[in-house]
Amino acid sequence: MSKKNDLIFAERLAAAEDELKWLYMELYDDEEAYDYFLTMLKDNFDHRKPALKKLDEQRLAEPDWYKRRDLLGMLMYVQAFGRDGKEWNGTLAGVRKHLDYLRETGINYLHLMPILESPEGRSDGGYAVSDFCAVDPKLGTMKDLEGLADDCRKNGMSLCLDFVMNHTSEDHAWAKAARAGDPLAQSRYFFYDNWDIPNEYEKTVPEVFPQTAPGNFSWCEELGKVVMTTFYPYQWDLNYKNPIVLNDMTDNMLFLCNRGVDVIRLDAVPYIWKELGTRSRNLPEVHKLVRLMHLAADIVCPGTLLLGEVVMEPSKVVPYFGTVEKPECQMLYNVTTMASTWHTVATRDVHLLRHQLDTVFELPHQYTFLNYLRCHDDIGWGLDFDFLGKFGMTEVPHKKYLNDYFRGIWPGSNARGELYNDDPKLGDARLCGTTASLLGLEPALESGEEEWIAHVVGAIESLHAFLLTQSGIPVLYSGDELALTNDWSYHDDPLKADDSRYLHRGNFDWEKAANRHNTDTPEGRVYEKLRTLERIRADHEVFDADADVWTLEPNNDHILGVGRFHGKEKLLALFNFDQDPQTAWLPEGETYVDLLTGDEVKADVITLRGCGFRWLLKTY
Catalytic residue list: 267, 309
Q: Which amino acid, one-letter code, is at 470?
A: Q
Contact 241, 286 (CB under 8 A): no
Burial class (CB in 10 A: 0-12, 13-18, 19+), 7: exposed
End-to-end CA gap in the chain: 52
**Cα–Cα distances in Å, from 454 out to 145, 323, 437, 478?**
40, 46, 14, 21
Contact 608, 616 (CB under 8 A): no
How many Å apart are CA 527 and CA 532, to the nearest integer?
Answer: 9
Which residues are CB-neighbours of 513 under 8 A, at least 6 positions away? 101, 482, 523
Q: Which amino acid, one-letter code, is at 227?
A: V
Contact 373, 435 (CB under 8 A): yes
SS3 content of the chain, % helix, strand, coil (to 5): 40, 20, 40
CA dihedral 528, 531, 537, 538 (to 10 degrees): -140
Q: Pairing relation of β-strands 116-117 and 131-135?
A: antiparallel
Contact 274, 280 (CB under 8 A): yes
How many Å apart are CA 8 and CA 88, to the nearest integer?
Answer: 46
Helix (H, G, I), strand (E, B) or coil at 141: coil
What are the φ and ψ backbone dihedral angles of 592, each rounded to 5 degrees? -120, 170
Residues in the chain: 620
Give residue 470's Cα distance to chain centre. Answer: 15
Q: Which amino acid, one-letter code, is at 106?
A: G
Burial class (CB in 10 A: 0-12, 13-18, 19+), 36: middle
DSSP 414-471: ----EEEEEETTTTEEEEE--HHHHTTHHHHHHHT-HHHHHHHHHHHHHHHHHHHHSS
Give residue 614's Cα distance to chain centre. Answer: 27
How many Å apart are CA 198 and CA 276, to the nearest integer?
Answer: 9
DSSP 179-225: HTT-HHHHTTB-EESSSHHHHHHHTTSPPSBTTTB-SSEEEETTTTE
What are the φ and ψ backbone dihedral angles of 382, each rounded to 5 degrees? -85, 65
Burial class (CB in 10 A: 0-12, 13-18, 19+), 424: exposed
**130 DSSP assignment:** S
Helix (H, G, I), strand (E, B) or coil at 74: strand
DSSP 33-63: HHHHHHHHHHHHHHTS-HHHHHHHHHHHHST
Q: Which amino acid, one-letter code, is at 383?
A: L
